[in-house]
Amino acid sequence: MTTESMLANPAFKPLRDGITVARRNLIKIKRVPDLLVFTTLSPIMFVLLFAYVFGSAIDVPGVSYREYLMAGIFTQTMLFGSTLTGYGLAEDIQKGIVDRFRSLPMARSALLVGRTTSDLVNNVIVIIVMSVTGLIVGWRIHSSPLEALGGFALLLLFAYAFSWVFAVVGLSVRSPEVVNNASFIFIFPLTFIANTFVGVTDLPGPLKAFAEWNPVSAVTQAARDLFGNTNPAVPQPDAWPLRHPVFTSLAWVVVLLIVSVPLAVNRYKKAASR
């Protein structure tokens, strides 16, 4: 059975329609390249800022700070990239595009599947640009190619899961600007009360506990391990999630998807009927 004949099956209509919507969103990026430019400029600025301005002032035992930094920047950028889903959906509702889609013979889930898929492709482009920037400032991968690919795949899975979280946000508000404000309030504590830029051992008690169980910390630690940006001679973190970061990260991805996908579908039905 060819791919074309398989997709022609009515059972695959949501997937087929989702691919069509994803293609529409990617064409929009092609026509408005500013969207991609400013999405990639922010992480590049973070890499340069922390590598050259703060890097000399921050000491990480057993490893170069620039190598320690990159996993945190990757994770933070994936989180910020996932907000595009919420912004795009809120914009589609505001402009009446959702109503136009409802009048077409397409699957109800197509808009959500297409939006999250196109934003995943956007994150792939961003992660490539960031990797090149990291290599320029001195970041290196010291693990096997398979482990490195696993690290990138985990980051993209994490971004995809949070795309559905922000889809719920985007479908719950009445303007794209609110999505931006809400996402900053949500993302900054997650990314800074974590092991993204510094270790968690010196944090005060409650903040340390939050950082140790923070999904951002788990994904960051998993990426460091998979990229080989850790020193085996340095003692491992005490917290269970940071001692088993890959398992913890995958568990967070599953939980986020189980919770957010049904919520997003429910919010889409209500938003489409406004």
- pLDDT score recorded for residue 176: 82
Largest CA distance in the chain: 61
Q: What is the pLDDT of residue 7?
A: 46
Percent with pLDDT over 90 in the chain = 32
Tell me the pLDDT of the chain averaged across its residues: 83
Predicted local distance difference test score (pLDDT) of residue 243: 92
- pLDDT of amino acid 48: 83
Query: What's the confidence (pLDDT) of residue 75?
Result: 94
Confidence of residue 14 (pLDDT cuts 50, 70, 90): low
Q: Is the pLDDT of residue 157 over 50?
A: yes
Please give the model's pTM, rounded to 2 decimal places: 0.88
Q: For 245-266, write each residue's pLDDT tens digit.
A: 999 999 999 999 999 999 998 8
Give the residue-averaged pLDDT of 87-93. Answer: 84
Cα 23 from chain centroid? 20
Cβ(156)–Cβ(127) below 8 Å:
yes
- Average pLDDT on 108-124 reads 84
How confident is the model over 184-212, as pLDDT tens digits? 888 889 999 998 888 888 788 899 999 99
273 pLDDT exceeds 90? no
